[in-house]
Amino acid sequence: MAVMEAPSLSPSLVLVGPPQRLGVPIGRRVAWLSNSEKWLTVPDELTRRTVAFRWRQAQKAAILQATGRDLHLKARRLGLSTGFLASYTIDSATHENTDTIIVSRDTQQNEAFFQIVKRFYRQIPAEIRPRVSYDTKSHMYFYDLNSSIVVLPPKVGVGAGLNPFNVHASEFALWAERIADYAVEGLFEAVPPTGNISIETTAFGYGNVFAKMYRKARETWARITAELIASGIKPTLEALQRAGAYWYAHKWSWAWKHGLEWARWKLQTLGARRFAQQHGCRFLQSGDSIYPDWALDPHWSFENPVAGGYYAYGVDPAEGVGGDATAISVWRKQGEFMTESYSVAGQWAPRETARKLKIITEHYGEHAESIVGYIERNNHGHAVIEKAIDFEVQGMLADPRDDKLGYLKSIASKAIPQDLFAEAVIDGTAKIADQQLCDEMRTLEHDPRGVHVHQSGYHDDRYTAACLAVSALTRVGAGGPLVTAA
């Protein structure tokens, strides 16, 4: 269907991309569904007896809703991988020049997947089943069709030199980052516009390549949909893809297969966090989390200085050990609302941190009503405070507990700015602009000592800086005089 460009088309929206819809036609996908139920058998999940293949609700929806470039965030044991293996085996075995690449997470999974592929191939009726002229532990080639099926491990260079029509990537969140990056840039780009890429995984953490792709896909589709509607263009799949919405994000939680009684039992068995990740399609969310999902989408972008504004900064100094970074966060207060204006993080020496803070405070404080802030007084913070004094950084606040510059770090003292920030975010008076801050906030959980702690392997540098900045803003009267202990 042709896409009509309305006269009111937004200048930021240009319809580009493939001249046709991505992915195979719906009729070909329906044939996968019908033929697999006619030809294939699988072991029953409970009894392990061989039964006829029947599409589960989530499996069928994943095939019928496919766009050709699909990210599937899934619960465990839904059978999505089996559905894709059945579809792509039938596709390569019944169509010319149709190569399929299947990439699983490790050698053991490779062998299991290829055994499934070979079993599905042998179940295709003999009068239709193509002759296999090349068959190894991971490669089947159909000479008469010039088609093949290859199962590969995730490694750098995976699929190099191949031109697949179908690619299925399993448990993509567990792939090493450099391998996943290569696959996105190389292997997936080799698939023609009319081919299929299905990437599926259970949620394993928030910082991996899949989580970043999934988040970006959701944001891109939402933004382009809004722009199309505003431009008078119906947001069809073709229009969205031509406007740059390349990947489509699907979510298949436990509810596609199980009922509430099962969920309650599994929640008690696994615990809140593991259940949320393995069955709830939550990257790092659990019953112990500080912030709900709806609070973790940035509302704004970073802003230029606003004349007459009340500003505050927070600094979380770090020595750079174990990946920790020094973070600087700047917030502005207007009435009862606080808006994140700027954020930056990096591994800097104390002098460099103070120099950057000097530049930032002058930039935002030049026309501000006031600018104040806390530097956390930790091991590295003492040196940063000394250098900040040398640079004459303006507005450094003293901790009211001991009247010394900086915010004294302790378990008890951390809870105060954390609770202030959490209350402001959840009640909507604190507007976040930094996606990386939101990413850190997803890892935070309640600690028995009454503070917010990040899950193992993650960091809270930007979060600590933001909490200190908002805490400093509470010492600024709303439109009134600055109250300071410095």
Question: What does the DSSP assignment read for 158-223?
Answer: TTTT---SEEEEESGGGS-HHHHHHIIIIIGGGS-TTSEEEEEE----SSSHHHHHHHHHHHHHHH
Q: Does residue 45 lie within any of the structural domains?
A: yes
Which of 192, 222, 252 is where one domain is finished? 252
316 and 187 belong to one structural domain: no
Amino acid found at 62 = A
What's the confidence (pLDDT) of residue 126? 94
CB-CB contact of 61 with 189 (8 Å):
no
CA distance 64 to 67: 9
Q: Are residues 240 and 321 in the same domain?
A: no
Same domain, yes or no, for 310 and 180? no
Instruction: Identify the pLDDT of residue 389.
Output: 95
Give me the domain span that covers residue 428.
293-473
pLDDT at 294: 66
Residue 442 located in a structural domain: yes
pLDDT at 320: 67
**Predicted local distance difference test score (pLDDT) of residue 183:** 83
Are both 161 and 305 inside the same structural domain? no
Judge whether 105 and 204 are in contact, CB under 8 Å. Answer: no
Q: Are residues 133 and 45 in the same domain?
A: yes
Is 285 inside any structural domain?
no
Reported as a single tens digit per residue, the pLDDT across 116-145 is: 999 999 999 999 999 998 888 889 999 999
Q: Do 172 and 199 meet the contact criterion of CB atoms below 8 Å apart?
A: yes
Measured between alpha carbons, how far is 468 from 234 in angstroms, rounded to an integer?
Answer: 46
Bridge partners, residue 100, by sequence: 149, 166
pLDDT at residue 81, rounded to an integer: 94
Pair 248, 304 in one domain: no
- Pick the last residue of a domain from 203, 224, 252: 252
User: What is the DSSP code (8-state) at residue 271?
Assistant: -
Say yes or no: 247 and 319 in one domain: no
Residue 18 pLDDT? 41
Report how many domains make up the chain: 2
283: in domain: no
Angle CA 8–17–164, to nearest 5 = 160
Q: Which residue has the tokens 């199962």?
A: 151
Q: How far apart are CA 290 and CA 477, in angstroms?
A: 28
Listed residues 232, 252, 272: the one ending a domain: 252
CB under 8 Å to 199, separation ≥6 — which residues? 70, 71, 72, 169, 172, 210, 213
Same domain, 77 and 224: yes
In a domain, 481, yes or no: no
| Model pLDDT, residue 457 | 72
User: Are 245 and 388 contained in the same domain?
Assistant: no
444 and 308 in one domain?
A: yes
Write the CATH number for 217. Answer: 3.40.50.300
The answer on 300 and 170 residing in a single domain is no
- Is 200 in the same domain as 328? no
Residue 482 lies in a domain: no
Task: Report CA-CA distances (Å) from 430 to 30, 115, 422, 483.
Answer: 49, 54, 9, 20
Per the domain annotation, does 9 fall within a domain?
A: no
pLDDT less than 70: residues of the chain? 1-22, 205-207, 273, 284-288, 293-294, 299, 320-322, 412, 476-486
Say what the pLDDT of residue 443 is. Answer: 79
CATH number of domain containing 436 = 3.30.420.240
Quick check: is 264 in a domain?
A: no
